[in-house]
Structure 1
Amino acid sequence: MSDSTMPSRSPRSLRLTARNRLTLLYVALVLAAGVALTALTYLLMRESLAHREVVLWTARPDGTGSLPPQPPSPSALSQRVRDETLAALLTQAGIALAVVTVLAGVLGWLLAGRVLRPIRAISATAQRLSAENLSDRVPVHPPQDELAALAETVNGMLDRVQHGIAERDRALDSQKLFAANAAHELRTPLTTIRTAIDVTLDGEPTRAELLTMAEDVRAAAEASGRTLDGLLVLARSQAGTANPRPVDLAEVARAVLADVGDQLSATGLTLHQDLSAAHVTGEPVLLERMTANLVGNALRYNYPGGHVTVSTGTSAGTAALRVLNSGLGVPPGQVDRLLEPFVRGEGSRTSSDGGAGLGLSIVQAVVLAHDGVITSTANRGGGLDVTVRLPPS
């Protein structure tokens, strides 16, 4: 018969389970200890019998004893007694060792099952888990041994996996919403351009109508350009800092406020500034855009005669930039939504001031790229109070 026709067993089917291996280990240890103990007893007994003399007596009817008429030699008699004693010892020890080995196998099997019970619980929990069900956890029972620590480690890993999947789902939902909003923001100017062209070219337009159409097309194109610029800055901010350098937030704020001086005068806003040194390590362009967006947001969502306060400094081991402005009241539940892309003041997705709705989203992306924290609260009298905290350099 050829080798190809021989039945084969996969290596997996020949493997012993952990419980079997532990049982065999217990039995091997008991058997080795029993053999060693028997051998030691045998050697000690043989050494003890080697130094003893045997005297043979015969009993008479009257109860007295005497040596047999032809007694065997003392050495032969001693050897015979020693051999019979050691043989009996080995027989009894072998029987006892066999019984102990069987008991060790049974107890080892039960003990191995008890020891491996937490492992089976971990395996059962892992089999119940799925992408839709990550809530099950491995039960942890006393005592607090290595297996309990393993169960707690597995539970901690499951917590992190569940949290990571939840964060991934939120990120995917946010990306879907962002893509939908971006498409809407870009489609609106294109629709405006197409409508203006269709209406104007329907018939014989005059020069004035053509100029009006051109102004509408330019305004729509500029709106699309602002949206695209905002998206590019947002993507760059989310990519992190590529060329970090020492930056003083106070100097950045002074430069930004100098650029908006004419706008402050035109709107009649009152500016309060308290610019103390606040040194950080970051990308100057992104930090300048962050500050400009905060100040621009404070100016845009304000009212004539209102106020804007800009301050920088260090506190609680961080470099801080704070922009506070007056304005319309913001519902408390709406404050966090203002950090989302394409969400403007009062939750509107449309605005006549030319804003793209990406200002605070870019600010938050820049802050996160610099390992900072942004907090935004609604003022009682209206407006926002936004504070950015970055690690100091």
Structure 2
Amino acid sequence: MISSLTARGRLTLLYTALVLAAGLLLLALAYYLLLRGGLQLPPPDPDGVTDGPLRGEAISALLARAALALLVVTTLAGLTGWLVAGRILRPIRTISGTANRLSAENLAERVPVCRPTDELAALATVINSMLDRIQRGITERDQVLDSQRLFVANAAHELRTPLTTMRTAIDVTLDGEPDRDELVAMAGDIAAAVETSQRTLDGLLILARSQAGPLRRAPVDLASIAAAAIDAADQTALGAVTLHADLQPAPASGEPVLLERMAGNLLENALRYNRPGGAVTVATGTAGGHIFLRMVNTGPPVTPDEERRLFEPFVRGARLDAGGTHDADGMHDADGMRGAGLGLSIVRAVVTAHDGEIFSTAPPTGGMDIAVHLPPALATPVPG
């Protein structure tokens, strides 16, 4: 029966039982002292003789009145215990009510922290900290899910285009009696579509790898990585622009493969979206407690809206053709193959995975100024 009581009822019962036990103990002690003669009731008569019956009646009367007083005190103790227990348990009820109102869609409410600081205040603080962690986790989960849904939709759209190109080339070529030249042209169209699909899939794998979790970090030097990216760049594109390199030591920690891809994509973007006779400046170094890699290029003007969207997957900037005019769709490389539009989105994902920041500016004269800031290395970097 006791187990079915509420916490307030059990506390009240405990308080009342303690008061009753203390009262019974005092009553028993008083009765013992009276029997032992420690108290003279009633006082002796003038002849010094105690009236036994009167003494017994006095003790009985005293015990009856003491029992009545104990009953009153016990009742008051029960009422007081009920009120005190309610006041003590009020923060618990507040915590329970807050927990009942919380859900996956509503995690903004927090448990009030009472003063002064005690065990219940510490419990409320711990619960609020737990709710903060849960809310951050749910927010990050929703962001990842939204990003994945959008990414999968864009990827499906991008991969559908080369597949359609291949199917159209096959259907048109095999519609009649194709000669060797038509078959060679069909093979070239299919090869170009396959290469486009390959680049898109490679970009998807790089993005997935950068978002898979904690990275395997090693000491690296961004100057060496930038130099390797320059060596691996398209020599035809390098010949069409003037390259300025200011590669100061930039020791950082990270995964070399991802950082190499980041630098390569930045340089490829700076070369691809440029103008004949333009320039690209590549700089690395240390400033303000962080390591930086900066690339500045000339090129067509970029609006603020285009600048914000350039770091999203499958978004491409406008290019200038050999005549200095904008390419119609801004999606073709020098060999005529469509770009995947994943370059800067991969750069952003790699920078985020390395706990860094990326800053971009679109000068009014055209081109882009992109700077990557990474935390400094914790150990001596290994040369590239």
Deviation at 1:159, TM superposition (A): 4.3
CA contact (8 A) 2:215 2:353 kept: no
Q: Deviations over 1:335-365 (max 9, x none)?
A: 343222212226x997122321111222222
Q: Deviations over 1:115-163 (max 9, x none)?
A: 3233223323333333334444445666665445544544454444344
Partner of residue 208, structure 2: 235
Quickly say closer, same or farther: Cα 1:296–1:14, change in 2 above 3 A.
Answer: same
Quickly say closer, same or farther: Cα 1:55–1:90, change in 2 above 3 A.
Answer: closer
> Is 1:21 aligned to residue 21 of structure 2?
no
TM-score (norm 2): 0.82
Task: Map 1:327-346 onto structure 2 (within 5 A).
Answer: 327-345=299-317
Q: How many residues are treated as equivalent by the alignment?
A: 365
Q: Distance in 2 between matches of 1:37 and 1:315?
A: 80
Task: Map 1:53-68 onto structure 2 (within 5 A).
Answer: 55-57=44-46, 67=47
Q: Distance in 2 between matches of 1:257 and 1:342?
A: 24
| Structure 2 residue matching 1:202: 3-state secondary structure | coil
Q: Distance in 2 between matches of 1:91 and 1:247?
A: 92
| Structure 2 residue matching 1:281: 3-state secondary structure | strand
Q: Distance in 1 between matches of 2:261 and 2:41?
A: 105
Q: Which structure would you say has the larger RCO, counting Cα contacts within 8 Å and 6 or more residues apart?
A: 2
Q: Deviations over 1:353-381 (max 9, x none)?
A: 23211112222222233232223333333
Q: Distance in 1 between matches of 2:345 and 2:174?
A: 39
> Is 1:322 aligned to residue 311 of structure 2?
no
| Structure 2 residue matching 1:380: 3-state secondary structure | coil
Quickly say closer, same or farther: Cα 1:129–1:225, change in 2 above 3 A.
Answer: same
Deviation at 1:219, TM superposition (A): 0.9
Deviation at 1:113, TM superposition (A): 2.0
RMSD, matched Cα: 3.3
Quickly say closer, same or farther: Cα 1:19–1:249, change in 2 above 3 A.
Answer: same
Deviation at 1:225, TM superposition (A): 1.3
> Is 1:351 aligned to residue 331 of structure 2?
yes
Q: In structure 1, list runs of 5 or more residues that go unmatched.
A: 1-10, 58-66
Task: Map 1:1-393 onto structure 2 (within 5 A).
Answer: 14-38=3-27, 49=38, 55-57=44-46, 67=47, 74=49, 77=50, 86-138=59-111, 146-151=119-124, 153-240=126-213, 243-260=216-233, 262-267=235-240, 269-345=241-317, 351-353=331-333, 354-391=338-375, 392-393=377-378
Partner of residue 324, structure 2: none
The AA in structure 2 aligned to 1:278 is A
Which structure has the larger Rg? 1
Of stretches 236-245 and 46-55 in structure 1, the one that deviates more from structure 2 is 46-55
TM-score (norm 1): 0.80
Q: In structure 2, list runs of 5 or more residues that go unmatched.
A: 319-327, 379-384
The AA in structure 2 aligned to 1:17 is T
Deviation at 1:192, TM superposition (A): 0.5
How much identity, in percent, do the aligned residues show?
60
Q: Distance in 2 between matches of 1:206 and 1:145?
A: 89
